[in-house]
Amino acid sequence: MTWIAQLVFLLLLGAGSYLFAKRIRSILDSISKGRTDLPSDQPGRRWAQVFRLALGQQKMFRNVPVALLHVIIYVGFIIINIEVLEIVLDGITGAHRLFLNPLGDLYPILINSFEWLALGVLIACVFFFVRRNGMNIARLRSADLKGWPASDANLILVTEIVLMSLFLFMNASDTLLQSRNVGHYAEATTGPFIISSYLHPLLNGMSDNSLIFLERSCWWLHIIGIIAFLNYLPYSKHLHILFAFPNAYYSPLEPKGKMTNMPSIQQEVLLAMDPAAASNAGTVPPPGRFGAKDVQDLGQKNLLDAFSCTECGRCSAACPAQQTGKLLSPRRIMMRTRDRMEDLAKLPIDQRENDGKSLLHDYISVEELRACTTCQACVEECPVSINPMDIILQMRRYLVMEESNSPAEWTGMFGNVENNFAPWKFAPDDRDVWTKPGN
Amino acid sequence: MSLPPIKTMADWAAEGKEPEVLFWVGCSGSFDQRAQRITQAFARILQKLDIPFAVLGKEEMCTGDPVRRAGNEFLFQMMAYQNIQILNSYNIKKIVTACPHCFNTLKNEYPALGGNYDVIHHTVFIQQLIDEGRIKLQEGGAFKGKRITYHDSCYLGRANNIYEAPRKVLEALDVELVEMKRCRSKGSCCGAGGAQMFKEEEPGQTRINIDRTQEALDTKANIIAAACPFCNTMMSDGVKLAERESDVQVLDIAELVEASLNQTL
């Protein structure tokens, strides 16, 4: 009988891991279509960013109570995985509480700490569920999240709540069976655990067989839930738990005000201004297109950003355009970039090059791009090092340089800068007029 | 109030000398009538402290910040090329500017194009002069006891992590410094950056400068201190629209310091 269970378990684990790997490969493939721009310089400072921003969640602490609850879920997620390891090994070997003998007295301490964490995660998730759905927090209720994104968020919270409950009920029924001296449960005596023992009064009335059924059901549902969650992750906004790390590593080390240079245009201007110097300067191959019209024109960091976004909306809550009712929402820029990549990945490979659509116009409108003040509040706020502004600016470059699409006032401003060397139509000779008497 | 003559780089070069610092005025500081007063105030500070400085005068051009952020990289590169040619021909080493946009472009974006200078914003420059004891402020100066709120410029603050220097200068003025709800790295934009200064806002419920000015007015400050000519324009417009011109002033840090200087020309 146990070998059937072991076989079923192995099949589930194998299929789950295979599907997860396949999906991650497809995401990495989507990201690889972007311009190669992932930096490899200064690894020391980059690792420091990973520790500070991803592992240390520094940005989350801009709101301390929320940060603490988030840390509980995060630590719970990581540490309870040790318990998942035992469950997986039990599943493969057909053993029960495999770690009990090697760990001895340490084992109950370990499980007790898992139970504390499980309770913490449970409480935090219930709070976040109520906060998201019952409290009026603008960034969690905005139109960006209408439909699937809102369900996605709730589904994650409910799954966490269910998984933690299963873990606690599994331990409660197990320890109750131990105290009743039933079968193999009695052979792995751990004694009651700190949190799950409070569930005993609920279960006392159950027969031994019902308890065994409950314990086995919780065990199976818990591990199936985890394998299912693993596979849900890369389809969901929740992928940030993995991608926050590489995203912190690759995020720029320079001041936020610095815009990415375009060496090909630099060279072209040099060629026009000083051909002799340009011929010595080497050649930078011109890009297929100036600026970004579609996802493959963006950098790989931009695309990694899009998959790292957990749609929390701190960017949009801080965006002056969004706050004053403009169409622009930096979160939506990230969500649409990911949508575009997901839609492209669904198409047969030969149709991906030309499906008649593009990120600009079909997913993100010109009006959104025009509303950005480049104030970098979105970049500052993002806890997982995403830069929505960089995408906006690359698309503005495409609009101006490839479509000659700019508002009339900007076109006039370009003319002034080119001819009068100032954005206003003043005579260049008047530039020093402020130094003259009477001014 | 007219200024003693200000020498250009060409004047200095003709004398075969080099100034201590180049004052990069910027387009707003050169042409906008309100911003010209900021430029003059900062120039007077330099003159009163006998700091040898120059301007480029007619040789200065837009750094290219607004065109680059609007998307016109070609034009940006053209402006940058021409400015760097002039700056390098005069062997410029140190630049001070009263415009955070010029500051950011000169400091962060010109090095990749061959323009390497020690670039400093005027608020940091002034703060250093106070720290060194070179700026002496009047006892019980013009703004003593006034309630002042400081509006963070995005291109000083988030873009370049300069939050404290302007505040330290204000503290030295013996004023009552009050903070807006959103300040420092959370400071909200005035609405002018990213070339918005040069076009109508996109449709929305309200204007960004109205929203931000209201926040400043909520602090009950008598003076809104700014450190950027664009912010100054946006906040001044906001104060006008709120019909509070009679009791609330928008002043640049340089203007506040210049009016409180103990030194005279």
Q: Which two tokens stand for residue B225?
A: 């201190």
Question: What is the reported pLDDT for A180?
Answer: 95
Determine, yes or no, domain membership for A437. no
The mean per-residue pLDDT over the stretch A85-90 comes to 91
Mutate to test the interface with B, among A434, A436, A439 (most CBs of B within 10 A): A434
Query: Phi, psi at residue A47, to the nearest 5°?
Result: -65, -35
Decide if pLDDT at A108 tops 90: yes
The DSSP element (H or E) to which B149 belongs, if any, is strand B147-150
User: Could you tell me the domains of chain B?
Assistant: 9-127 (3.40.50.1860), 137-260 (3.40.50)
Name beta bridge partners: B177: B148
Same domain, A26 and A133: yes
Kindly give, in sequence order, each residue whose CB lies less than 8 Å from that of residue A367, ignoring residues fewer than 6 positions away: A327, A328, B202, B203
Determine, yes or no, domain membership for A426. no
The mean per-residue pLDDT over the stretch A204-212 comes to 95
> Average per-residue pLDDT in chain A?
94
The mean per-residue pLDDT over the stretch A91-109 comes to 91
The mean per-residue pLDDT over the stretch A141-156 comes to 95
pLDDT tens for each residue of A25-45: 999 999 999 999 999 999 999
Which of A268, A326, A424 has its CB closest to that of B27? Answer: A424
Determine, yes or no, domain membership for A264. no
- Report the CATH number that the domain containing residue A387 is assigned in CATH: 1.10.1060
Q: At what angle do helices A300-308 and A330-346 cross, to 10 degrees?
A: 100
Determine, yes or no, domain membership for A80. yes
CB A340 within 8 A of CB A363: yes
Which of A401, A428, A437 has its CB closest to that of B58? Answer: A428
B25 part of contact set with chain A, CB < 8 Å: yes
Determine, yes or no, domain membership for A263. no
The DSSP element (H or E) to which B212 belongs, if any, is helix B208-217
Same domain, A414 and A292: yes
Same domain, A346 and A397: yes
The mean per-residue pLDDT over the stretch A407-418 comes to 98
Domain count, chain A: 2
Strands B118-121 and B53-54: unpaired
Same domain, A218 and A85: yes
Same domain, A159 and A223: yes
> Which residue, among B111, B199, B76, B201, has the nearest Cα to A401 in the 3D structure?
B76
Range of the domain at A186: 2-250
B262 part of contact set with chain A, CB < 8 Å: no
Pick the residue from chain A with its C-alpha nearest to B192.
A373
Is A257 in a helix, a strand, or coil? Answer: coil
Which of B55, B196, B200 has its CB closest to that of A432? Answer: B55
Place of tokens 């909306």: A313
User: Of residues A306 and A75, which shows the higher confidence score?
Assistant: A306
Q: Which amino acid is at A283?
A: T
Q: How far is A301 from chain B (nearest CA, A)?
A: 19
Same domain, A212 and A330: no
Residuewise pLDDT in 10s, chain B (265 residues): 568 899 999 999 999 999 999 999 999 999 999 999 999 999 999 999 999 999 999 999 999 999 999 999 999 999 999 999 999 999 999 999 999 999 999 999 999 999 999 999 999 999 999 999 999 998 777 888 899 999 999 999 999 999 999 999 999 998 999 999 999 999 999 999 999 999 999 999 999 999 999 999 999 999 999 999 999 999 999 999 999 999 999 999 999 999 999 877 7
Question: What is the reported pLDDT for A281?
Answer: 66
The mean per-residue pLDDT over the stretch A130-145 comes to 94
Same domain, A155 and A217: yes
Query: Phi, psi at residue B225, to the nearest 5°?
Result: -90, 135
Kindly give, in sequence order, each residue whose CB lies less than 8 Å from that of residue A291, ignoring residues fewer than 6 positions away: A297, A394, A395, A396, A397, A398, A399, A400, A401, A402, B71, B73
Which of B61, B68, B194 has its CB closest to that of A373? Answer: B194
Same domain, A110 and A176: yes
B58 part of contact set with chain A, CB < 8 Å: yes
> Which residue, among A370, A375, A354, has the nearest Cα to A403 in the 3D structure?
A370
pLDDT tens for each residue of A310-367: 999 999 999 999 999 999 999 999 999 999 999 999 999 888 888 999 999 999 999 9
Determine, yes or no, domain membership for A77. yes
The mean per-residue pLDDT over the stretch A185-195 comes to 92
* pTM, 2 dp: 0.96
Pick the residue from chain A with its C-alpha nearest to B31.
A431
Same domain, A96 and A213: yes
pLDDT tens for each residue of A152-184: 999 999 999 999 999 999 999 999 999 999 989
Question: What is the reported pLDDT for B2?
Answer: 67
Place of tokens 């370049």: B160
CB A23 within 8 A of CB A231: yes
Same domain, A131 and A190: yes
Neighbours of B264 (CB within 10 A): 6
Is A39 in a helix, a strand, or coil? Answer: coil
**B-chain residues near A257 (CB < 8 A):** 104, 108, 155, 158-160
**B-chain residues near A360 (CB < 8 A):** none
